[in-house]
Every structure is written in structure tokens, then in C-alpha cells.
């Protein structure tokens, strides 16, 4: 019984074309730009676009062809410049003070 149900399901899917769905492997990322701006943004609600009157959604290749560069307010760019400082506990501070004495 299970075998006949499986064969019937496969036959129906082949006849309807459900198994032949085209897949877009070469999907290109889209970015947000302005008409006169110098930068492109991955996030539509980035603070660099807050005062823009009109925002365009275009492929990254088109934005780069126009000579646009990645915005400095993008999180990927900002995280590279961020310096993380380890918080010192009281125990470590006392230990360092004893060593220096």
C-alpha cells in the first residue's frame, strides 16, 4: 500500500512539473542607493539613508559600475574598526597591584 502511494505521488509530481522548478543559482545581491550619493547600503533603514528623498534598489554590480563604495555606517564595516576591551575584575586589579609592588 505504501509503495503504491509513493509511486502515485511521484507520478503526479512528474506530470504536473513540480519536480522541474527552475532554481536561480546565480542570485546577485541587491543594494540601496540614492540618485546623487557616493555610497551603497545593504540595509534599507540605514541611518545614512535617513534624509534621502528617493531610494533606489539596484544590483550590486550596477552600483559598483557607477563608482559607488560601501557606506561607512554599515555594520560590517563598523565592526572591523571596533576595538573590544576586556573588562578587568577587582580580583585581577588587586593581583596586578601586588605584582607591581
- pLDDT score of 86 more than 90: no
d(C-alpha 14, C-alpha 58), whole Å: 36
- 10-36 pLDDT per residue, tens: 667 666 665 555 655 667 889 999 999
Q: Range with the lowest mean pLDDT among 47-51, 56-60, 93-97?
A: 93-97
Residues near 34 by Cβ (< 8 Å), separated by ≥ 6? 49, 52, 54, 55, 56
| DSSP annotation of 66 | T
- 31-56 pLDDT per residue, tens: 999 999 999 999 899 889 999 999 99
Q: Report how far apart, in Å, the C-alpha atoms of 76 and of each of 9, 61, 86 are.
A: 46, 19, 21
- pLDDT score of 1 more than 90: no
Q: Tell if the pTM clears 0.95, that is, is over it.
A: no
Amino acid at each position: 500500500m505504501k509503495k503504491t502511494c509513493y509511486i502515485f505521488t511521484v507520478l503526479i509530481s512528474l506530470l504536473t512539473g513540480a519536480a522541474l522548478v527552475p532554481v536561480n543559482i546565480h542570485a546577485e545581491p541587491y543594494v540601496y542607493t540614492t540618485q546623487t550619493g557616493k555610497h551603497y547600503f545593504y540595509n534599507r533603514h540605514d541611518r545614512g539613508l535617513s534624509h534621502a528623498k528617493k531610494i533606489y534598489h539596484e544590483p550590486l554590480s550596477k552600483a559598483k559600475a557607477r563608482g559607488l563604495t560601501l557606506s561607512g555606517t554599515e555594520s560590517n564595516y563598523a565592526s572591523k574598526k571596533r576595538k573590544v576591551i576586556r573588562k578587568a575584575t577587582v580580583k585581577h586589579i588587586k593581583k596586578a597591584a601586588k605584582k607591581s609592588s
